[in-house]
Amino acid sequence: MTGANRSADPRLEQRQSKRMRLVVGLPVRLGRIDGTLLEISRGGARVRHVGSMKTHSEVVLAFESGADRFMANGKVLSSHVVGLGTGPGGATLFETNLRFTHISADALATIEQMLGADGPGTMNP
């Protein structure tokens, strides 16, 4: 199946849950690195930051959302350059895609609240 046909077939959509793209990035910690949350779903997140992350490494994603503190363990799926010399002090910017490997009920509730979902059972492609 070609790329054009693949995108036309909704059965081949890989996302299994609603995701949220942030207009204004939320400050986060990805392991020991400060970053900006660009996108989040029940299954993972995309973060922009300075410095690369090793693929398949395990990291903790943490941030504040209102009065809630979010924290979840995740596995780095990919980390790639998105801007040479465009970060603070001319640093190289990276984007890292993360899949959650351990997420508490409280952290999942924070995501559901951010997504505006009705609850943990909501699964929208």
For residues 94 and 53, is the Cβ–Cβ distance under 8 A?
A: yes
- Examine residue 77 and state whether it is found in any structural domain, yes or no: yes
CATH at 91: 2.40.10.220
In a domain, 99, yes or no: yes
Model pLDDT, residue 18: 52
CA distances from 51 to 9, 16, 20, 83 (A): 37, 29, 24, 11
What is the number of domains present in the chain? 1
In a domain, 58, yes or no: yes
Confidence category of residue 19, pLDDT binned at 50, 70, 90: low
Q: Does residue 123 form part of some domain?
A: no
- Higher-confidence residue of 33 and 15: namely 33
Domain membership of residue 20 (yes or no) is: no
The range of the structural domain enclosing residue 58 comes to 27-115
The pLDDT, as a whole number, for residue 72 is 97
